[in-house]
Amino acid sequence: MNIKNRRIFLTTSFWAGIFGLFSTKVSGASLTPSDSQGPFYPITPQKDKDFDLTQVEGVTGVAKGTIVNIRGKILDENLTPLENVTIDMWQANAAGRYHHPHDTSLAPIDKNFQGWAIVQSGMNGTFNFKTIIPGAYKASGTWIRPPHIHFKISKIGYHELLTQMYFPDNELNEKDFLLQSKNAAEKDLMIAKKVNDSDDTLKYTIILKSI
């Protein structure tokens, strides 16, 4: 185990241990709504897809942007935690640029930003990501996507879920065509929650439907 992996192991164990201190509020047993996959699912293979997106293995720098820790939890429709769920997430960098050959944005690529991660949920359905708040980006001439993280969630015996996680208190949320197509309860499930008014840690609960 190299130093980075050891640090990841210790950090993951730490978050998994304290996650139980925070209650998980969900809107009844509503399922997490699906949302567009978007055009930028990663297609360039990369070795480092661990939970820490702020550093890339073999690169010495740290990603630009505001660091945020996402404490996630996966439940089924009966609110039972699900372990060994595959959580595949990708997002733009702090400048709003995806590390994807089809992203024609002129915003800079950040070589220190991992951009893509795949992890498994652990005990009590928990998972964690350390990342940066993605930048907003233009989706069309008049449409600016608010900061969001794309998720693809899968586990045998459950419907695969493609969705997007949004950030609390972002004014662009109210103008986003995708998010505003959801009702209030759905939006509530799609917008991560602050922990103790902290901006650096967010809770995000995902509810899957069994087949």
| Interface ranges with Fe ion (CB under 5 A) | 38
Between CA 74 and CA 122 the distance in angstroms is: 9
Examine the residue annotation and report whether 158 is marked as an active-site residue of this protein: no
Examine the residue annotation and report whether 41 is marked as an active-site residue of this protein: no
Q: How far is the CB of 44 from Fe ion (least distance, A)?
A: 16
The closest residue (CB) to Fe ion is: 38
Strand partners for 152: 88, 162
Angle at 51 between CA 48 and CA 57, to 5 degrees: 30
Q: How far is the CB of 145 from Fe ion (least distance, A)?
A: 6
Examine the residue annotation and report whether 98 is marked as an active-site residue of this protein: yes
Examine the residue annotation and report whether 204 is marked as an active-site residue of this protein: no
| Set 71, 100, 148, 166: catalytic member | 148
Angle at 164 between CA 160 and CA 166, to 5 degrees: 150
How big is the chain, counted in residues?
211
| Set 71, 97, 99, 145: catalytic member | 145
CA distances from 172 to 1, 65, 95, 106, 169 (A): 42, 18, 15, 21, 9
Examine the residue annotation and report whether 159 is marked as an active-site residue of this protein: no
| Set 98, 100, 166, 204: catalytic member | 98
| Set 71, 150, 166, 204: catalytic member | 150
Q: Nearer to Fe ion by C-beta: 105 or 124?
A: 105
> 3-class DSSP state for residue 193?
strand
Q: Which two tokens stand for residue 137?
A: 């980006």
Among 86, 117, 91, smallest CA distance to 8 is for 117
Q: Nearer to Fe ion by C-beta: 38 or 81?
A: 38
Q: Nearer to Fe ion by C-beta: 9 or 143?
A: 143
Q: How far is the CB of 107 from Fe ion (least distance, A)?
A: 13
Q: Nearer to Fe ion by C-beta: 22 or 41?
A: 41
Q: Which two tokens stand for residue 26?
A: 């969900």
**Widest distance between CA atoms in the chain:** 48
Q: How far is the CB of 82 from Fe ion (least distance, A)?
A: 25
Catalytic residues: 98, 137, 145, 148, 150
